[in-house]
Structure 1
């Protein structure tokens, strides 16, 4: 080793480099890579694993290691952590060669779809190919340099394979650039061949210096600001759609002030919920396919829509049906041009907070008419009545409580800062319409990828990101059965998370959708196979998910009624251990009333009357669908 270089393996160099990276925004610095999630196997146990051990034993680098139980789960935990930290801090995830690495592909897709940063370090085959084919290596007769890790390419915002140690230097710097770019961020994948991980190289010492990656706030172009303000001044029934960008930029205070000054109502997406508290005079609730009554009614008549940090998914637009005014025009304030120009909008490319403040300055003498404010107040009042009807216990039609009644009880026992986590099934729809969020970090619903299995692992990441908050995971039996292993990690790390496990013996969301589309809930119930019909429509399976949770180390509380549920939740809040509250609900609802539509094609021809009838309904809805040109 000379004064200018340091002899280390590639893995040891990577660990030192990652430990020295920081992000900064508005003068606040934090660790960019606070630690590494991992599961070791052949491919990384003697490479990244040895490097992390050495760093901990010698204290040459501060990069804590966390043991996960499922590779997809650890990526979900990392993504949830990044979401809570406004994308300013991101974990690395290391996995072994072959199946260990490809288990992370779904997590990578979720991260990139949600535009949340995570650094993936999948192990790869031998770069030298001296021992080809190694255990778990894909042999592609068309290309000798192809491995299973090439599956990460389409779901990563940056992908590289480090086939020589010195390639790590530009690749690592590029990886940090993408992780800290609000426009380009997502999954960043650096494939590490197992022999290269252990190969030594003389690294320039400057590679390991402390680096601060500054996350800027792009300001709006004056001419674009003028165009946007001019268009808003023409509006008689404007509407704001607040997305995740409003939260990640910390624009909540500016958005609330802007809504108060102008009188423009604010609807929100899942990612934007809580940017304006539910009880703010301008808050009209979730918008789109599962949106609230007030938001969707205002959207149908809106003449100018100001999208702030939203990517306009099909659920937000109700599959291009919710904005019903034939003359509607859009202004999109977004840091990403991709989203700013959607729906032929007037683009305002800027940081959400600075953009809102600039718009407020340009509209100091303008506000909506009192008639529109009164119309908005009436819609909000009716929305509140609908919500209370959904929460009411007497709405239950069967022996078991409705899921909406459980959500109402949960709302009553949680504090404003307590975090509610969900991702898939029927609960995201119920939550978007009914949940009353006061704090954007208290509503954590992953609905860009809506990945079953996200919830429990996300609870782990959220708790690590902010231990001061009570974290409540809402998970149905379908999602729980796909991935609950990180309960073990919660227990081993001494982290307290409350898991509300809703058991209804089937896929409630897809079952209801199947029925609406004429498919009679086929294949959506957890049942024995009937010997006569040959279908899965026999008796209920004797699955005991509460016993499963207990076997993973969690405390378990049972709730048979809504009152039992409230009591169990109060007890769970009073403990310092991960606790599962198990409650059975009615598979058949009832669900909240629908105020929007979602385009799921129905068979154009069928021998089933239920399908033919559903197709007629589908055709009717399609008539209101259009491109926003």
Structure 2
């Protein structure tokens, strides 16, 4: 191939052709990095990227596999779908998302924030205003009197790990290469945004053929620096009550075997975050379950006693640390193993910057001969066994007339397979699930709790199913989240993809209602009620929304079990069906929830005429005294 050989393509065609030949590699396995594009086409991209995607499907370049185009119904949802896909693929693959200018593109901002906060790679291709400014201002253009190069797409800058605007074809090469670098960097990944003005998308240029050769991006497994490893091992050896906190990095790096070997060798109990649940199987002798504000009694007791905390792939959100109260030993020290130095440095830790799998193996070797005290092993088993009794009670309450949602979780936990995927994101469910769910594999538990974005569940289920077509994928969603973003059911049906949608109907916001009540605000505005003409308040009858009828309008089968046993039968039917099936079950808005053993910092009004608020404020001030910096 001559280095001067070129091919004439539009910018849109060049983007599509480039993406179709990008691959990732880790541990010797190569995968298509961006196998598909989700999009909603409008005047900003229909004749640019839209034309390129059509041409790619009908007339792909010789020897090249076309990108699969998926038509979405909502721009935020399609980013959630890409996140669900990428997370299920352990960040080794992702999907691209394209939208028209103006509201189409800015609708993707929430999804971009979620991806970047959760450290999940997604490629966003928002359309932009005319680079030439000939028809300036065009439809949907923001006019900024101080800076004429600003567009609404600048809102992507703070929520993107990489941002660029391609105003000339010549700029595209560097932009695409930079985008791929960030997508495949486990320490830097997140939302990658390349803005494409609508006129530039259709502009042609002569591109070097070399740009469209098959390119493999190698996903690194950084190994620990020896001196850092020695320092970390010295801290762990000094510990009498150590714990491990396994975060999402332990899952994405596929470090489960290394984590189990580390626990087996050292006897150190393993606590997990929302993203890290399943990194160690729940029935491993060292597994203690979820830690923090939504964790269980066993894990939180161990955290409170710990003198050394070994964080593996965690960024220590306020839920994990119970707003910096759960690690209560006054002399507690931290050893953080993380691929990202920013996270490894948190809480004044001894830093080990490395891939989770490689770091765990190296730390285990450095600790050869070390094993935690035998009395700690007994303590772990006593605490875990006691919590297991609580879990069984929550799973099998047989509450009447309406089941607690924990009974539904128990049914799912017992009926779903090891390689099946439960997806959830917001409301009271994540709290109950982290405390109770018995994850047998790192695949099974897919909770989006970095951004806790209502409406994530259904589009993410589509993405997860595309990434793992042999897994049963269950979107577990409350009626509040369902009403925010059901649209991708239409995409699921159009693509012939099979998922199970489980909707818990409780006529309100259970999580916020309980939070409001416990903080002195009396569940104000947290129930779905009609405006009462007598009181003028939203305290009338239930809003007469028929969720089952709404779901049936998408052309899918809907089952409506009356209680827990009926739900179990309905789930077996749904799992056995070849097509998407929804299950709508009414649950008790008031729980009960599993007992809480940790705190979350939610400020209460400092002054109030309400006695409930004044009481809650006094409790808040007392609880806040336990907060501390770990230095």
TM-score strictly above 0.5: yes
1:37 match: 38
1:580 match: 582
Q: What are the equivalent positions in structure 2 for 1:524-563 lying under 5 Å apart?
A: 524-563=526-565
1:507 match: 509
Deviations 1:251-301 (A, max 9, x none): 100100110110000000011000100011000000000101110000001
In the TM superposition, what is the alpha-carbon distance from 1:533 to its structure 2 partner? 2.2
Distance 2:270 2:80 in 1: 30
Deviates further, 413-422 or 268-277: 413-422
1:154 matched to 2:152? The reply is no
- Which one of the candidate residues 115, 120, 126 is aligned to 1:116? 120
Q: What are the equivalent positions in structure 2 for 1:316-465 lying under 5 Å apart?
A: 316-394=320-398, 399-465=401-467
Distance 2:300 2:586 in 1: 31
In the TM superposition, what is the alpha-carbon distance from 1:553 to its structure 2 partner? 2.2
In the TM superposition, what is the alpha-carbon distance from 1:143 to its structure 2 partner? 1.2
Distance 1:365 1:392 in 2: 43
Closer, same or farther in 2 for the Cα pair 1:442/1:2, shift >3 Å?
closer
Distance 2:411 2:254 in 1: 30
With the length of structure 2 as denominator, give the TM-score of the two structures.
Answer: 0.98
Distance 2:22 2:606 in 1: 55
2:292 match: 288
Secondary structure of 1:569's match?
A: helix
Distance 1:322 1:221 in 2: 30
In the TM superposition, what is the alpha-carbon distance from 1:536 to its structure 2 partner? 1.0
Secondary structure of 1:178's match?
A: helix
Closer, same or farther in 2 for the Cα pair 1:2/1:294, shift >3 Å?
closer
In the TM superposition, what is the alpha-carbon distance from 1:3 to its structure 2 partner? 6.4
CA contact (8 A) 1:422 1:446 kept: yes
Q: What are the equivalent positions in structure 2 for 1:200-279 lying under 5 Å apart?
A: 200-279=204-283
Distance 2:396 2:54 in 1: 55
1:471 matched to 2:473? The reply is yes
CA contact (8 A) 2:3 2:208 kept: no
Distance 1:416 1:254 in 2: 19
Secondary structure of 1:240's match?
A: strand
In the TM superposition, what is the alpha-carbon distance from 1:168 to its structure 2 partner? 0.3
RMSD over aligned Cα atoms: 1.1
In the TM superposition, what is the alpha-carbon distance from 1:415 to its structure 2 partner? 1.6
CA contact (8 A) 1:398 1:586 kept: no
In the TM superposition, what is the alpha-carbon distance from 1:392 to its structure 2 partner? 2.1
In the TM superposition, what is the alpha-carbon distance from 1:390 to its structure 2 partner? 1.2
Secondary structure of 2:443's match?
A: helix
Deviations 1:308-337 (A, max 9, x none): 000000000000000010000000000100
In the TM superposition, what is the alpha-carbon distance from 1:132 to its structure 2 partner? 1.0
CA contact (8 A) 2:3 2:210 kept: no
Unmatched segments (≥5 aa) in structure 1: none
Distance 2:3 2:276 in 1: 52
With the length of structure 1 as denominator, give the TM-score of the two structures.
Answer: 0.99
1:17 matched to 2:49? The reply is no
Distance 2:495 2:446 in 1: 22
Distance 1:552 1:148 in 2: 33
Distance 2:414 2:329 in 1: 38
Deviations 1:417-463 (A, max 9, x none): 21100000100001000000001111000000000000000000000
Closer, same or farther in 2 for the Cα pair 1:499/1:191, shift >3 Å?
same
Deviations 1:105-158 (A, max 9, x none): 000000000000000000000000100111111111121111110110010000
CA contact (8 A) 2:311 2:334 kept: yes
Deviates further, 228-237 or 548-557: 548-557
Distance 1:313 1:38 in 2: 32
CA contact (8 A) 1:485 1:552 kept: no
1:58 match: 59
Deviations 1:471-493 (A, max 9, x none): 01100000000001111111111
Unmatched segments (≥5 aa) in structure 2: none
Distance 2:299 2:43 in 1: 53
Secondary structure of 1:393's match?
A: coil
In the TM superposition, what is the alpha-carbon distance from 1:2 to its structure 2 partner? 11
CA contact (8 A) 2:472 2:499 kept: yes
In the TM superposition, what is the alpha-carbon distance from 1:398 to its structure 2 partner? 5.3
CA contact (8 A) 1:178 1:185 kept: yes
Kindly report structure 1 stretches of 4+ aligned residues shifted beyond 2 Å.
Answer: none
Distance 2:558 2:594 in 1: 29
In the TM superposition, what is the alpha-carbon distance from 1:532 to its structure 2 partner? 2.4
CA contact (8 A) 2:73 2:487 kept: yes
Deviates further, 259-268 or 58-67: 58-67
